[in-house]
Amino acid sequence: MARADEAPTPVVVELYTSQGCIACPPADALFRDFASMDGVIALALHVDYWDYMGWRDEFGRPEYTVRQKAYARVAGSRTLYTPQMVVQGEDQMKGHDAEAIRADIARRQGEAARATVSGDRADGKLTLHMAPVAGPVGAADVQLVSYVPSRTVAIERGDNAGQEIAYTNIVTDWRVVGRWDGSGPFEMTLADAPAGPLAVVVQQARMGPVLAATLLP
């Protein structure tokens, strides 16, 4: 458990979902609950491999499928599926298993942060500050995530035809903006930071655990 003087890092929950996936609506609703929890950064990545079923997901991106495939490789799996949730970059779970995911989030919230990250916006620039908490944490990717807080979509075709589904924290861009060696305090400035709500996710290189994360409204 984290000591009183060690603030836990927010728990990052990634949902891999699709508007064309018949099993996804319950997970999309569950994910909305997670997004409202204190200390949780919930980010939904819509994949594109269900588009052939008759409905093209307007939020789907091939790069999110690539990210999910990278997680599968780390887990030694050749199978991709939706809905899937990945907690803190490590725990890959079925996206509708509410009890297991809630327990995992609670466990992660009891862990002390390994690093910190914060950001300042000014004059169109974004400056990010990172530091290890108790010694080096290894090389890490600094990732900037743009997202739309909510959108409701009427599904007209495919397996979910006729449903109107509310989506939460829809990722519109997820990109690596820098590499931190994890050995000491580090600062970087982005001159062309996008407007709108952002998340910063500092993740150990090669799809390792999330070391630190923050939201920038």
| Res 10: pLDDT | 96
Concatenating the DSSP letter of every residue in 107-142 gives HHHTSPPSEEEEEEEETTEEEEEEEESSS----EEE
| Res 9: pLDDT | 84
- Give the mean model confidence (pLDDT) for residues 113-120: 96
Please state, in angstroms and as integers, the Cα–Cα distance from residue 50 to each residue in 14, 35, 46, 77, 107, following that order: 18, 24, 10, 19, 32
Tens-place pLDDT, residues 165-210: 999 999 999 999 999 999 999 999 999 889 999 999 999 999 999 9
Q: Are 105 and 11 in contact (CB under 8 A)?
A: yes
Q: Which superfamily does 11-216 belong to?
A: Glutaredoxin (3.40.30.10)
| Res 192: pLDDT | 87
Residue 190, token pair as written in the block: 């982005």
| Res 8: pLDDT | 81
| Res 82: pLDDT | 98
- The H-assigned helical ranges of the chain are 24-35, 62-74, 98-109
| Res 191: pLDDT | 95
Q: Are 141 and 32 in contact (CB under 8 A)?
A: no
| Res 6: pLDDT | 58
Query: Residue 3 — pLDDT band, cuts 50, 70, 90?
Result: very low
Tens-place pLDDT, residues 29-82: 999 999 999 999 999 999 999 999 999 999 999 999 999 999 999 999 999 999
Confidence (pTM): 0.96
- Give the mean model confidence (pLDDT) for residues 83-94: 98
Q: pLDDT averaged over the chain?
A: 95
Is the four-CA dihedral 71, 98, 35, 116 of positive or negative sign? negative
Percent of the chain with pLDDT over 70: 97
| Res 74: pLDDT | 96
Instruction: Return the domain boundaries, the chain.
Output: 11-216
Q: Are 183 and 152 in contact (CB under 8 A)?
A: no
Query: Does the pLDDT at position 1 exceed 60?
Result: no
